[in-house]
Amino acid sequence: MGCKVWAASLALAFSLSQATVNFPFPQMSDYGGNATLLSDKAAASEQLKKQFLYWKQAMYNESGDIAGIRSDPGSDAYFSEGVGYGMLLMVYFSDNTTSYQAEFDKIWNFYKKFQNENGLMIWKIGNLSESWDAGNGAALDGDIDAAAALVMAYYQFGDEKYKEDAKKLIQAMKKSEFESNGLHMPGDKWGDAAYNRKNPGYFDPAYMPLFAAIDEENAEFWSKTAYDANMKLYESSSDEVSTGLVDDWTDKNGKSEDDYYSYDASRAPWRNAKAVCWHGDQRALAIDKKMAEFVSKVNASDMKGPVIRSSGSLGNDHNSTFVTSLMTALISDSKYQAKLDEYWKEAVALGDENYFNQSLKLLNGLLVSGNMPNLMNANSGMTGIAKSKVANAPAVSLQGRTLQVCTDGAARVDVFNVAGHAVKTQAGSQAMDLQGLPAGVYMVRIQAKNATVMQKIRLQ
């Protein structure tokens, strides 16, 4: 049966039974084969959801129409970095039964409430109502994640306002937190120090193509100027040492300031690995491979930070910041599959942790389990086939208990229940037998060579 014959029935199905969000958790993407991921992505997805629910209960704090991410359970201090993490997590953990769009909006309201005259959030806030930073300065790490989260929210929730807000924030960052040569500055109020002190963990190469697509008039700045300048910074810092680890702080040429891979630098591997997963970035992959050689020689249970970069000497802090951030380097080669699984198992065993460690565990875990895809390129349309912009996008129709797949070439089909668990998977066939599944609502994901599409179905 051709796609055109039953396109109308598909549109009707969507009008009667539409997904809460466009890309429900868990996605369990393979990122187009760009990276080695966890062996059991389904189990990791369940573990991540449990860890996220703890994080949300302990760290998310709302008051009226705003919400902040506590700097630790019970704390009334809030950082802009937590806003960025929180917005990303609300996007990626939204599923078929629970959309976290309302929480996302409240966190974004918090950001906007404390924007300074440069349109950037003050980096430290107390009691959801007052600034604790006398300088009212911003920090790029929070701003850059918030901007990317807005882009992803546009594709996840389908509201144009997120795209408009993303463009404003991206342009504000360019004006106040990037030099004309593309190098990042740690914040907007560092004065002359910002031109020589650099924090590699604040810059994200994976976001540059996104920013270029949203901020079209500055597309070349993001995709070429900023990307190249800051990747050279990453490469220079990594090349200084045999471990490949970048420094917390460097000068404008990437020269080490203190030789420590510590809490500031701990975001860099995730950002770098994300560029590999999303874009197949070869420069980022080369850095990952170098780090992976060091990481693969350390048992996950022994990994501790801060790490002295030049010697590889480990510190005293055994937590998910160091275990999971360095874990992401292992995506660079299939020979590290067992080691990657070992590191994630150790992270899970660490249980509930403080704000920073738990946040890094979730972000890194989402990436290595395939649950942090670039939604801009996922090509699933906004909410169904009728809105897909991809020519000959794959589609499905349900005929009794047989799922018919219409696609250009072979496709992988995954069926998820409302809890997000995969209950049926098939590749290379145009039809799937769903006999034996209980009646109810399911989400079908079709991955073909030209697009990926999500479709909700109801079994009688």
Taken in order of first residue, the domains within the chain and their CATH numbers are 3-19+383-459 (2.60.40.3080), 32-377 (1.50.10.10)
pLDDT tens digit string along 395-406?
777 777 888 777
Dist. CA 449–CA 210, nearest whole Å: 22
Predicted confidence band at 11 (pLDDT cuts at 50, 70, 90)?
A: very low
**Which residue has tokens 């920090």?**
139
- What proportion of the chain, given as a percentage, has pLDDT over 70? 90
| pLDDT above 80: residue 409 | no
What is the pLDDT at residue 346? 98
Give the CA dihedral 348, 354, 359, 361, nearest 10 degrees: -20
Model confidence at 445, pLDDT cuts 50, 70, 90, reads confident
pLDDT value for 429: 61
Confidence grade of residue 285 (pLDDT, cut at 50, 70, 90) = very high
pTM confidence score: 0.82
pLDDT band for 382, please (50, 70, 90 cuts): very low
State whether residue 34 is helix, strand or coil: coil
Percent above pLDDT 90 for the chain: 75
- Positive or negative: CA dihedral 150, 152, 155, 156: negative
- Top-confidence residue, 358 or 387: 358
pLDDT in tens, 220-264: 999 999 999 999 999 999 999 999 999 999 999 999 999 999 999
Q: What is the pLDDT of residue 419?
A: 65
* Residue 50: how many other CB atoms lie within 10 Å: 12
pLDDT band at 119 (very low <50, low <70, confident <90, very high): very high
Query: What pLDDT score was predicted for residue 134?
Result: 78
Task: For residue 383, give Cα distances in angstroms to 20, 89, 197, 389.
Answer: 9, 20, 44, 11
pLDDT band at 410 (very low <50, low <70, confident <90, very high): confident
Task: Please give the Cα distance from 460 to 454 (Å, whole number).
Answer: 20
Q: According to the model, what pLDDT value does residue 56 have?
A: 98
278 against 433, higher pLDDT:
278
pLDDT at residue 390, as a whole number: 42
Query: What is the pLDDT, as a whole number, of residue 396?
Result: 72
pLDDT for residue 3 = 45
Q: Is the pLDDT of residue 127 over 80?
A: yes
Cα-based distances in Å from 446 to 209, 304, 393, 451? 25, 41, 10, 8
Report residue 374's pLDDT band, with 50, 70 and 90 as the boundaries: very high
261: part of which helix (H) or strand (E)? strand 260-261
Asked whether the predicted pLDDT for residue 16 surpasses 80, the reply is no
5 pLDDT higher than 60:
no
To the nearest whole number, what is the mean pLDDT of the chain? 89
Structure confidence by residue, pLDDT tens digits, 311-348: 999 999 999 999 999 999 999 999 999 999 999 999 99
